[in-house]
Amino acid sequence: MAKLYFKFGAMGCSKTAQALITKFNYEERNMKVLLLKPAIDTRDGATVVKSRIGLQQDAIAVGQDESLFKLYEEVYPDRNVIIVDECQFLTPEQVDELSDIVIQKNIPVLCFGLATDFTTHLFAGSRRLFEIAESISEIKSVCTCGAKATVNARLDDNGNVVTEGSQVVLGGNDRYVAMCRRCWLKRIKEQKERGIS
């Protein structure tokens, strides 16, 4: 029986690498994979899914107003599995559609992404996945202190932690670093003491 999976973690925990490895594993068994990514994620090109370790594949970019159920049913009905990278950028309605595909078409859907933004608040797509996914698992990463990283700290051009701004600002290691909450709060406190907010 197919399931809706949500595999989440902080920045740099190998979510995308694991998504691409999973795609390879299905294809190695002669199954057809529909690899999706939200169109808002243009860091590595409009239709490229790329991991930090260099693995990459072409994907179908989907806009927030696009029906994923219709895309599957009308364009890719021959696919045996759907894999979504950066699923936090999906709308709650798109997550519901992925669940509908699982239930109505008996097709497994594996979603890989962040749970929270740089302020530690859930993304809308991730929130919906926590609410309805049949399988939820964390891909762990580590802070520089050795503790489990849970915060996706956003950095400004001077390396200071940012605590205000738009929820979505694309970037990689130059813009984000995974930290434990203790180190994140300590760094914010130190910045405030130096007059940096």
Per-block mean pLDDT, blocks of 10 residues, the chain (197 long): 96 92 97 96 85 90 97 97 97 98 98 95 97 97 94 88 75 77 91 79
Q: How far is Cα 120 from Cα 82, in angstroms, rounded to an integer?
A: 28
Please tell me the number of Cα atoms within 13 Å of 30 on its side-chain side: 0
Would you list the domain boundaries of the chain?
Answer: 4-138, 151-193
CATH topology of domain 4-138: Rossmann fold (3.40.50)
Counting Cα atoms < 13 Å in the Cβ hemisphere of 77 gives 5
Q: How many helices (H) and strands (E) does the chain have?
A: 5, 11
Distance of CA 169 to the CA centre of its chain: 14
pLDDT in tens, 109-138: 999 999 999 999 999 999 999 999 999 999
Residues recorded for the chain: 197
Q: What are phi and psi of 90, to 5 degrees?
A: -70, 155
Contact (Cβ atoms closer than 8 angstroms) between residue 143 and residue 178: yes
Indicate which residues carry an active-site annotation.
Answer: 86
Q: Kindly report, residue by residue over 146-171, the tens digit of the pLDDT.
A: 999 999 988 888 888 888 877 766 65
Phi, psi angle pair for 42, to nearest 5°:
-110, 15
